[in-house]
Structure 1
């Protein structure tokens, strides 16, 4: 039985404009009812999630796509903040980064990342991964409300 879907709110924490564009393009191809919010550093991500400063009216995202290598506040620190917060910890976090380091993978899962994806360098492969993320996380699983 398929659950009815509400409008999905996705927070993308990514400092690469080209990767942001590819993820945005992949989502635009879908027929999902979604809103994509983009911030380019870890401090803005935390402010968005805690509804502080410029983000007082921010919505609570249903899903977070998080790069690890971010300016101002590292993605690992952002992940730790999210998963140590009683309100935010239920939001699934997809780590999507260029690092294939075993240490980064293990550390991300130790911090309770919901999955870890290494970004490919080929644009076609990147779009395929974005499509798979959409298919699984936005069409298949039940996300917390």
Structure 2
């Protein structure tokens, strides 16, 4: 079966230095409503966990936008210019804490579903799994 009809790309290497780590998330924007019920989790996160998050991650600018009757969401802006939005309506503060840590550890590259990822690494040796499968 040919994969010629599936778009493909190479996985980009992050230029993160040797022996050092640079967080790729530069700005985290929390959008919420003061009174809407679906924003209750983000309000709890701001009261309980946001100060600890900012102390642990001083390189990330955190902005809070209050929008009237808007669904809550997290917007992450990365060093490569990409943005990612996550809708967090009716999520509790623990789930929002996990999502902010997820955004913090992302590289910012867009991963498209249905995209065949290729690597530049190759080997001339046949993997042992292939040999075992051929014998069966």
* TM-score interval (norm. to shorter): 0.3 to 0.5
State the TM-score, normalized to the length of structure 2: 0.42
More strand by share: 2
Choose between structure 1 and 2: higher helix proportion: 1
